[in-house]
């Protein structure tokens, strides 16, 4: 789908974020991806499906294995959306700085 809803929803789960950061180090087979997690491979497969639907990774069928590769592009759109708020999360520091500056006078 690759809209903001599905991107953010895909990122809203520690297991899936963990899968993505794993894929930063290079592509991985689905079975290898599943190993670190204390859940069935079917469950991991479902998470991978969610990430795939969100366009955050691509799956390549190779023999009997599936190879997953990171596709971070949708994250850019999510980041772009968030960046608009940058002024607001720095604001409180600015306010604090202003407050301290005022106090010194």
Partner DNA sequence: TCACCACTGAACCAGATGGTTGACAATATG
Partner DNA sequence: CATATTGTCAACCATCTGGTTCAGTGGTGA
Would you tell me which residues interact with DNA (CB under 7 A)? 9, 12-13, 15, 29-31, 34, 38-43, 45-48, 50, 59, 63-66
Question: Per rule CB under 8 A, is residue 79 in the interface with a copy of itself?
Answer: yes
Look up residue 80 and give its two tokens.
């772009």
Question: Per rule CB under 8 A, is residue 1 in the interface with a copy of itself?
Answer: no
- The secondary structure of 31-88 as a DSSP string is HHHHTTSSS-HHHHHHHHHHHHHTTSEEEEEETTEEEEEE--HHHHHHHHHHHTTHHH
Pattern of binders to a copy of itself over 84-103, x per CB under 8 A? xxx-xx-xx-----------
We find the least distance from the C-beta atom of residue 28 to a copy of itself, in angstroms, to be: 14
């Amino acid at each position: 789908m690759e809209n903001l809803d599905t991107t953010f929803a895909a990122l809203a789960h520690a297991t899936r974020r963990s899968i993505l950061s794993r894929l930063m180090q290079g592509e991985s087979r689905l079975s290898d991806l599943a190993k670190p997690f204390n859940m069935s491979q079917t469950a991991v497969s479902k998470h991978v499906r969610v990430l795939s639907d969100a366009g955050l990774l691509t799956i390549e069928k190779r023999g009997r294995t599936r190879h997953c590769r990171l596709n971070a592009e949708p994250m850019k759109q999510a980041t772009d959306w968030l960046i608009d708020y940058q002024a607001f999360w720095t604001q409180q520091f600015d306010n604090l700085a202003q407050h301290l500056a005022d106090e010194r006078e």
